[in-house]
Amino acid sequence: MVADRVPVLTWDEFLAQFNWTQGQHVTLVGPNGRGKTVLLTHILPMRGYKIFLGTKRKDATQTALVQGKGDHRYHLAKRWEEIHQDVSPNWMLKPPFPKNASVAQVKAVQAQVFNEALMKVFRQGGWTVVGDELRYLTDYLGLTDICQLLLLQGRSLEISFVTGTQRPRWVPLEAFSQASHLFFWQTPDHQDVARVAELASINRETIMEVVPRLNPDAHEVLYVNPKSGYMAVTVPPPPLS
């Protein structure tokens, strides 16, 4: 079977051959609870200056990053003006959730803060931006244009855009067509998987065979390099403590 020819690697073996350079985009595809954000916390130390877009009011991973130690600690900022590269290369941009604010007010604040930050990133270049749920940024906050701009022009500006999505059909196609690295978790929606394979110009037959066989309980993930066609299955390590 095709799937039997895809190597299964330990996390250390995978990292030894995972070559992620600045300007290359990373896209993670899979349902909640599969380990997308945990994987992010293990590959992000490869990059220099990073901004994690804190879209959730409460989130265990975001809390762990802010409370991390040494090089793994992310400094919390409520607005772009609070981000200073000489203080730290790692930033969690989390707009305030005003007490008793309406849904519309929270949405407006997040949209304004994230849009300003992404435009600054576009002008400066050199940043790695993490949006762990791309659909929230594009559909809910209305930031499709700036997200597409970063995906299309990021490589020349040395901007890496790292995105996650549960449903590939609901996010900009550039998240897949411009990605240099793709990660797939087991998902019940095979049409979504086929769509990503088509957009990223990778072997559809192999993807359709391997992804359903991934073990969701073990958080198995299929890595695909669209340019070289290289694939591997691995199990990411536990969350950073």
CA distance 23 to 161: 8
Q: Determine the structural domain holding residue 232 and report its residue range.
A: 1-20+190-241
Rounded percentage of the chain residues whose pLDDT exceeds 70? 95
The predicted-structure confidence for 139-170, as pLDDT tens digits, reads as follows 999 999 999 999 999 999 999 999 988 877 77
The answer to which of 5-19, 45-59, 185-199, 226-240 has the lowest mean pLDDT is 185-199
Answer yes or no: are the C-beta atoms of 67 and 240 closer than 8 Å.
no
Indicate whether 157 and 211 sit together in one domain: no
Indicate whether 69 and 13 sit together in one domain: no
H/E/C letters for each residue in the chain?
CHHHHCCEECHHHHHHHCCCCCCCEEEEECCCCCCHHHHHHHHHHHCCCEEEECCCCCCHHHHHHHCCCHHHCCEEECCHHHCCCCCCCEEEECCCCCCCCCHHHHHHHHHHHHHHHHHHHHHHCCCEEEECCHHHHHHHCCCHHHHHHHHHHHHHHCCEEEEEECCHHHCCCHHHHCEEEEEEECCCCHHHHHHHHHHCCCCHHHHHHHHHHCCCCCCCEEEECCCCCCEEEECCCCCCC
Indicate whether 43 and 150 sit together in one domain: yes
Q: In this predicted structure, what is the pLDDT of residue 204?
A: 74
Residue 209 inside a domain? The answer is yes
Residue 205 pLDDT level (bands cut at 50, 70, 90): confident
Indicate whether 16 and 36 sit together in one domain: no
Indicate whether 214 and 129 sit together in one domain: no
Query: What letter represents residue 84's amino acid?
Result: H
Rounded percentage of the chain residues whose pLDDT exceeds 90? 52
Indicate whether 140 and 197 sit together in one domain: no
Residue 201 pLDDT level (bands cut at 50, 70, 90): low
- Report which of residues 86 and 58 the model is more confident about: 86
Indicate whether 46 and 116 sit together in one domain: yes
Indicate whether 90 and 203 sit together in one domain: no
Indicate whether 201 and 145 sit together in one domain: no
Answer yes or no: are the C-beta atoms of 204 and 231 closer than 8 Å.
no
Residue 83 inside a domain? The answer is yes
Q: Would the pLDDT of 61 be above 90?
A: no
Residue 203 inside a domain? The answer is yes
Number of domains in the chain: 2
Residue 173 inside a domain? The answer is no
Indicate whether 42 and 3 sit together in one domain: no
Q: Would the pLDDT of 48 be above 80?
A: yes
